Amino acid sequence: MKKRAWIVLFDESGVSLLPQIRRTYAPHGRTPTLRHRLNWKRAGMAAALGYHAADRERGPRLCFHLKPGSYDTTSLIEVLEQIKNFYAGEPVVLV
């Protein structure tokens, strides 16, 4: 049985905005000094990547949502509601 639906892969992740500096170069005999603020922020990102199962000519669809801080259940449900509006009544299989 063929389904004419979008296959949508959904995931959420968090990132830190702290720079990832591990090493640097300095003139011989001088200790390198790395400076950055230690009050870094965190951000969350949720994304959905969709492929149409029956019609390859429609191409993939990517939608994402950025949020300061981290996601909780309520905010992820809001993102899923936005994805529902993005696909506008088309059949979707969410993975």
pLDDT tens, 31-58? 777 776 666 778 899 999 999 988 888 8
Give the span between the Cα atoms of 50 and 10, in whole angstroms.
Answer: 9
Cα distances from 71 to residues 15, 26, 36, 59, in angstroms, run: 12, 41, 26, 29
How much is the pTM?
A: 0.69
Does residue 21 surpass a pLDDT of 70? no
